[in-house]
């Protein structure tokens, strides 16, 4: 799938941003990634609220293989094939995927490393000041 096809596909949903990602594209709205277009297909963001809808359609979660095992990414599920022909319903699914991505963003907390990095320059300044006093 190319950029033009994806833009047309999500036209009823609204404006989307399409960026190169992995072997395909990441699709976002309002700065939040809610879909992936990869060689394996088109996948929408899902969570405990929307996964039952994907299961009812017979969709499967995104998965890829490494040398050691197959990894299942339960947060992205394959878009049901019938939605490629129904742009109005695809827009509803895309809105649900964006909502799932927004819920996931709310659940995540700031990483402790980011806070430690902010504190690091202060520690360096304090060490430099201490060295100056010793001299």
Q: What is this structure's pTM?
A: 0.76
3-state secondary structure of 35: strand
pLDDT of res. 112: 63
- Model confidence pLDDT, tens digit, residues 52-108: 999 999 999 999 889 999 999 999 999 999 999 999 999 999 999 999 999 998 876
Let me know if residue 126 belongs to a domain: no
The rounded mean pLDDT for the chain is: 86
* Mean pLDDT (whole number) for 103-132: 64
- Measured distance CA(133)–CA(135) in Å, rounded: 6
What's the number of domains the chain is made of?
Answer: 1
Domain coverage including residue 11: 3-109
Residue 127 domain flag: no
Task: With respect to residue 134, please indicate whether it lies within any of the assigned structural domains.
Answer: no
* Structure confidence at residue 105 (pLDDT): 83
What is the average pLDDT across 5-17? 93
Nearest to 59 by CA among 40, 33, 86: 40
Is there a domain that residue 115 lies in?
no
Q: Which pLDDT belongs to residue 21? A: 85
Does residue 114 register a pLDDT over 60? no
Q: Three-state DSSP class for 118?
A: helix
111 pLDDT more than 80: no
Whether the CB-CB separation of 32 and 17 falls below 8 Å is answered with no
In a domain, 55, yes or no: yes
- Reading the block at residue 46, the tokens are 């899902």
Residue 129 tokens read as: 């000041």
* Closest to 100 (Cα-Cα) out of 72, 67, 74: 74
- What CATH number corresponds to the domain at position 103? 3.30.1460.30
Please report whether residue 85 resides in a domain. yes
In a domain, 119, yes or no: no
Q: Decide if 129 is inside a domain.
A: no
């Amino acid at each position: 799938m190319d950029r033009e096809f994806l833009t047309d596909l999500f036209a009823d949903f609204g404006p989307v941003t399409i960026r190169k990602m992995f072997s395909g594209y990441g699709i976002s709205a309002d700065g939040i990634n809610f879909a992936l277009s990869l060689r394996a297909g088109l996948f929408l963001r899902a969570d405990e609220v929307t996964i039952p809808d994907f299961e009812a359609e017979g969709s499967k979660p995104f998965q890829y293989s490494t040398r050691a095992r197959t990894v299942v990414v339960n947060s992205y599920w394959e878009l049901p094939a019938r939605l490629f022909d129904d742009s109005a319903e695809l827009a509803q699914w895309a809105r649900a995927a964006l909502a799932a991505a927004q819920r996931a963003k709310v659940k995540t907390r700031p990483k402790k490393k980011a806070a430690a990095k902010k504190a690091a320059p202060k520690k360096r300044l304090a060490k430099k000041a201490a060295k100056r006093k010793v001299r």
